[in-house]
Amino acid sequence: MSPTATPAPTLTPTPTSKFSNKKYDEFVGAVFGETEVDTGVPIRIRAWSVAEGNSLIVVLNLTSESRNDARRAKEVNTLATSGYVQAVAHHDLERINGKITDRLRIAEVNNTGAQPKTLVVNTSLAREYYTGQIDAAEFTEEYWKTERNMTADEIEYVYNMDSRTGNQTLYNGTGD
């Protein structure tokens, strides 16, 4: 996978001061911009934050597993592969400035009654993928292995983020 020449600009959800960190704005903008370029399904971002431990937490309103598991997987995979991996590559190739996070944590909000889930994509794994050390199947398998139910504290944190920030839908009907 070779990164595109320049990151696509995009509007990002506006975080509140409690959850934002301007040092990461260019990197986060690249994550969302690259995601929007490639997505064939709407990706509903509810909030984002760079949190303690240097994690980019992106809160998504995901399609429920019971409704359409393939679409849910596509939403996560597009953010991880097209967004996060490309932004890591842009940063490493000095196409964007600022700080980079150590990992992407995707956290789910939903109203289905199902336990919300979370998963992690480590930056080191993203680098292995974009440099060709591992293939797409192995990359995807590795981060899906981290999926688990969110703890009560994580749910509270995510819902606090969600209630204090704006929403953004990333979608490019031609990206599929």
DSSP states along 125-145: HHHHHHTTSS-HHHHHHHHHT
Strand order in the sheet with 43-51: 148-149, 117-122, 103-109, 55-61, 43-51, 168-170
Taking residues 124-132, report their average pLDDT: 98
pTM above 0.95, yes or no: no
Q: Which two tokens stand for residue 54?
A: 């240097």
Per-residue pLDDT at 58 exceeds 80: yes
Segment 83-97, tens digit of pLDDT: 999 999 999 999 999
In DSSP terms, which residues pair with 133 in a beta bridge?
A: none
Domain coordinates in residue numbering, the chain: 17-170
Closest C-alpha to 64, from 120, 105, 114: 114
